Amino acid sequence: MIEINQALAASFGLSAEEYANVLRIMGRTPTLTELGVFSVMWSEHCSYKSSRVWLKTLPTKAPWVIHGPGENAGVVDIGDGLAAVFKMESHNHPSFIEPYQGAATGVGGILRDVFTMGARPIANLNALRFGDPSLPRTKRIVDGVVRGIGGYGNCVGVPTVGGEVNFHPAYNGNPLVNAMTVGIARKDRIFLSAAAGIGNPVVYVGSKTGRDGIHGATMASTEFDASSEDKRPTVHVGDPFTEKLLIEACLELMATDAIVAIQDMGAAGLTSSSVEMAGKGGVGIELNLDHVPQRETHMTAYEMMLSESQERMLMVIRPDREAMARAIFDKWDLDFAIIGHITDTGRIVVTHNGVVEADIPLAPLADDAPLYNRPTTETPKRPPLGPVADPVGILAALQKLIGCPDLCSRAWITNQYDSTVGGQTVRRPGAADAAVVRLEGTNRALALTTDVTPRYVFADPEMGGRQAVAEAWRNLTAVGARPLAITDNMNFGNPQKPEIMGQFAAAIRGMSDACRVLDFPVVSGNVSLYNETEGRAILPTPAIGGLGVLDDAAKSMGIGLQPGLGLVLVGTLVGHLGQSLWLREITGREDGPPPPVDLAAERAVGDFIRAQIKAGAITACHDIADGGLLVAVAEMALAGACGAHLDRAPKGIDPHAFWFGEDQGCYVVAVLEPDAFFLEALVMDLPAIRIGQTGGGDLKLDGVGTISVETLRAEHDRFFPAWMETP
Ligand X SMILES: Nc1ncnc2c1ncn2[C@@H]1O[C@H](COP(=O)(O)OP(=O)(O)O)[C@@H](O)[C@H]1O
| Range 51-70, binding ligand X (CB under 6 A) | 55, 58, 69-70
Give the integer Cα–Cα distance in Å for 261 and 274.
11
| Range 258-317, binding ligand X (CB under 6 A) | 266
Answer for the pair 575, 649: CB distance below 8 angstroms, yes or no.
Answer: no
- Would strands 82-90 and 74-79 be described as parallel, antiparallel, or unpaired? antiparallel
97 binds, among another protein, Mg ion, ligand X, none (CB under 5 to 8 A by kind): another protein
For residue 356, give every residue at least 6 positions away whose Cβ sits within 8 Å of its Cβ, in sequence order, or none: 349, 350
239 binds, among ligand X, Mg ion, another protein, none (CB under 5 to 8 A by kind): another protein
Query: Shortest gap between Cβ of 45 and Mg ion (angstroms)?
Result: 12
Answer for the pair 376, 500: CB distance below 8 angstroms, yes or no.
Answer: no
Query: Shortest gap between Cβ of 707 and another protein (angstroms)?
Result: 24
Binding site for another protein (CB under 8 A): 97-98, 100-101, 147, 150-151, 154-157, 207, 210-212, 230-233, 235-242, 244-245, 295-296, 309-310, 332-333, 411, 414-426, 428, 438, 440, 553-554, 725, 727
Cα angle for residues 315, 327, 343 (degrees, 5° grid): 30
Q: What is the DSSP letter of 97?
A: H
Active site residue 341: no
Q: What is the DSSP letter of 369?
A: S
Percent composition of the chain: helix, strand, coil (DSSP 3-state, to 5): 40, 25, 35
Q: Which residue number, 85 or 155, has a Cβ lying nearer to Mg ion?
A: 85
**Piece of 206-214, 256-264, 278-286, 455-463 that binds Mg ion (CB under 5 A):** 256-264
What is the amino acid identity at position 601? A
Answer for the pair 439, 123: CB distance below 8 angstroms, yes or no.
Answer: no
Candidate residues 158, 479, 522, 634; the one interacting with ligand X per rule CB under 6 A: 522
Answer for the pair 362, 346: CB distance below 8 angstroms, yes or no.
Answer: yes
Alpha carbon distances (Å) from 293 to 238, 330, 348: 17, 14, 20
Catalytic residue among 67, 91, 215, 236: 91
230 binds, among ligand X, another protein, Mg ion, none (CB under 5 to 8 A by kind): another protein
Active site residue 91: yes
Give the integer Cα–Cα distance in Å for 360 and 350.
9
Greatest Cα-to-Cα distance within the chain, rounded to the nearest angstrom: 85
| Range 68-107, binding ligand X (CB under 6 A) | 69-72, 87, 89
What is the amino acid identity at position 122? I
Distance from the Cα of residue 419 to its chain's centroid: 18
Cα angle for residues 682, 683, 688 (degrees, 5° grid): 25
235 binds, among another protein, ligand X, Mg ion, none (CB under 5 to 8 A by kind): another protein
Closest CA to 313 of 257, 236, 243, 252: 243
526: contact with ligand X by CB under 6 A: yes
Binding mask 94-113 for Mg ion (x = CB under 5 A): -------------------x
Query: Shortest gap between Cβ of 302 and another protein (angstroms)?
Result: 16
Q: Which residue number, 36 or 150, has a Cβ lying nearer to another protein?
A: 150
Give the integer Cα–Cα distance in Å for 485 and 470.
12
87 binds, among Mg ion, another protein, ligand X, none (CB under 5 to 8 A by kind): ligand X
231 binds, among Mg ion, ligand X, another protein, none (CB under 5 to 8 A by kind): another protein
Candidate residues 18, 34, 212, 264; the one interacting with Mg ion per rule CB under 5 A: 264
Candidate residues 18, 77, 113, 212; the one interacting with ligand X per rule CB under 6 A: 113
Candidate residues 524, 541, 612, 619; the one interacting with ligand X per rule CB under 6 A: 524
Give the integer Cα–Cα distance in Å for 445 and 691.
31
Q: Given the rule CB under 5 A, which residues bind Mg ion? A: 72, 113, 264, 266
**Residues with active-site annotation:** 45, 91
Q: Given the rule CB under 6 A, which residues bind ligand X? A: 46, 55, 58, 69-72, 87, 89, 113, 266, 488, 490, 522, 524-527
